[in-house]
């Protein structure tokens, strides 16, 4: 029989340390839903999603009950809708509404994939879709949108960066009466991945199978508790502790993923090795960094601590899963992390530091509330900076900022649920990047040798 201490450890992780499976995400290809008529295409999309994902929520709940591990979200990612718009035509918002109808019918938390991939240029459907994003996110509640504007191999499409600054602002304005919630569902990527199970950036890449199950794990609280038990260890020992813990967390993801895939009769894709925080106490990535010895997340030393954490999570997780993918790493969404919220409120965590942190961890400037007066060109410049970090370092970076319309530095936005709440952070607007952004064009792809 199993060791009593092992059993207690697992139960403790779930009960007191917030171990959970953050999401089971079903990726669905919509390429076979293309039709010469927009309405017919929407109908096919609705039918395919409800046919394949009709049981997703129930299977998730059954597994949750049998294995005793919480599964927080059940989600769907679909082929970037810009591709469907390119062939089927019509108003892109109609597709968003069809996806919302499918989300309601299946009971999933989110559908991601109202997306366009424009890292080298725009093709048919891309501009139409991008321009419709504010309206689509305002008219729907459970649809997420993403746009990939750069990659290591193609450089950064600065035309798209310029437009996305405006789109982010428009999305905030059109949803200003709902705490600018639209922007929490919109992410701008560089080096977007095709098998990401996490929102808002999930979409189903064209290289993926017709239908597939991905799993995203969580568990910052478990890592923090494990480090707490090692108060005097050196950083090598701390790295070992994190690796061992990440291994255990990832095994849960692998188990749940294979079981969900078996019950749904859909191939298993990947486990995303992530530390995804929630606003709940004891579920914070910032608190892990503080447990490692930093007085507060955001001070000097934060980048180094985060780099080690991120690397150790991957090293521990890789062996625990048959297939790893997605974004894999520690997430640092400010409004979704109790420790980050505190550090941002007290002024110890600044956007400039967050930008540095994104160079060494998963994704990028995430869930950051900026002043409502931030001009579109400054939002574009934030996107360009972040994309440059991703492009040069061959990693995924992203920007999900929320201009808090009508609010200033020091005030707060309240999104509720997993999205949390965030203080408006200071953005340097002493001088304008307008000339730089207005030049548009393309930043060429970087050298892959002479790395210095």
Partner 1 sequence: MRTIISVIGKDTVGIISKVSNICTECNVNIVDITQSVLQDMFVMVMLTEISGANCSFNEFSDKMKKLGEDIGTDIRVMHEDIFNSMHRI
Q: Where on the chain is the footprint of partner 1 (CB under 8 A)?
A: 1-11, 15, 65-69, 248, 251-252, 254-255
Closer CB to partner 1, 140 or 218, in the complex: 218
φ, ψ of residue 240 to 5 degrees: the values are -65, -45
Residue number with CB closer to partner 1 (20 or 35) = 20
**Pair type for strands 397-404 and 365-371:** parallel
Strands 21-28 and 71-78: parallel
Which residue lies nearer to partner 1 by CB, 15 or 448? Answer: 15
| CA 84 distance to own-chain centroid | 23
Q: How near is the Cβ of 12 to partner 1 at its closest, in Å?
A: 9
- Chain centre distance of CA 44: 27
Extract the tokens encoding 264. 């749904």
Of 103 and 270, CB closest to partner 1: 270
Backbone phi, psi, residue 401, to 5°: -110, 150
Output the smallest distance, CB 258 to partner 1, in A: 9
CB 316 within 8 A of CB 242: yes
Pick between residue 7 and residue 31 the one whose CB is nearest to partner 1: 7
Q: How far is residue 395's CA from residue 397's CA, in Å, rounded to a whole number? A: 6
Pairing state between β 397-404 and 186-190: antiparallel
Measured at the CA of 246, the angle between CA 243 and CA 249, to 5 degrees, comes to 155
Task: Write down the least CB distance from residue 1 to partner 1, Å.
Answer: 4
Indicate the residue among 3 and 452 with the shorter CB distance to partner 1: 3
Work out how close the CB of 257 gets to partner 1 at its nearest, in angstroms, rounded to a whole number: 11
Q: At CA 332, angle to CA 330 and CA 337, rounded to 5?
A: 115
CB of 238 to partner 1, least distance (A): 21
CB 135 within 8 A of CB 93: yes
Q: How far is the CB of 17 from partner 1 (least distance, A)?
A: 13
């Amino acid at each position: 029989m199993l060791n009593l201490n092992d059993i207690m450890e697992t139960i403790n992780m779930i009960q007191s340390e917030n171990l959970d499976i953050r999401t089971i995400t079903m990726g669905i290809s919509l390429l076979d839903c293309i039709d010469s008529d927009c309405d017919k295409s929407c109908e096919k999309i609705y039918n395919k999603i409800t046919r394949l994902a009709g049981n997703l929520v129930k299977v998730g709940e059954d597994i949750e009950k049998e294995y005793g591990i919480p599964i927080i979200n059940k989600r769907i990612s679909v082929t970037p809708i810009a591709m469907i718009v390119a062939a089927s035509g019509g108003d892109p918002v109609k597709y968003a509404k069809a996806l919302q109808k499918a989300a309601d019918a299946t009971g999933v938390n989110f559908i991601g994939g109202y997306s366009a991939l424009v890292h080298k240029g725009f093709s048919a459907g891309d501009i139409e879709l991008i321009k419709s994003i504010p309206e689509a996110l305002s008219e729907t509640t459970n649809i997420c949108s993403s746009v990939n504007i750069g990659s290591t191999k193609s450089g950064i499409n600065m035309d798209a960066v310029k437009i996305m600054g405006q789109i982010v602002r428009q999305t905030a304005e059109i949803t200003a009466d709902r705490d600018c919630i639209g922007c929490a569902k919109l992410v701008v990527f560089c080096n977007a991945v095709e098998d990401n199970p996490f929102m808002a950036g999930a979409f189903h890449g064209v290289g993926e199978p017709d239908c597939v199950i991905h799993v995203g794990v969580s568990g910052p609280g478990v890592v923090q508790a494990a480090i707490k038990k090692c108060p005097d260890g050196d950083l090598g020992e701390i790295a070992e502790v994190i690796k061992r813990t990440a291994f255990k967390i990832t095994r849960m993801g692998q188990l749940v993923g294979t079981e969900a895939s078996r019950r749904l009769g859909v191939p298993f894709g990947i486990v995303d090795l992530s530390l995804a925080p929630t606003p709940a106490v004891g579920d914070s990535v910032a608190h892990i960094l503080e447990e490692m010895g930093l007085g507060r997340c955001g001070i000097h030393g934060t980048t180094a601590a985060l780099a080690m954490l991120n690397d150790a999570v991957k090293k521990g997780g890789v062996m625990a899963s048959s297939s790893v993918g997605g974004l894999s790493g520690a997430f640092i969404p400010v409004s979704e992390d109790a420790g980050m919220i505190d550090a941002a409120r007290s002024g110890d965590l600044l956007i400039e530091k967050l930008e540095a942190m994104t160079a060494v961890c998963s994704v990028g400037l995430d869930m950051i509330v900026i002043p409502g007066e931030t001009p579109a060109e400054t939002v574009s410049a934030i996107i360009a900076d972040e994309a440059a970090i991703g492009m040069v370092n061959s990693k995924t970076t992203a920007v999900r900022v929320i201009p808090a319309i009508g609010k200033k530095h020091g005030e707060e936005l309240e999104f509720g649920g997993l999205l949390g709440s965030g203080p408006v952070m200071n953005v340097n607007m002493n001088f304008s990047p307008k000339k730089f952004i207005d030049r548009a064009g393309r930043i060429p792809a970087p050298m892959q040798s002479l790395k210095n």
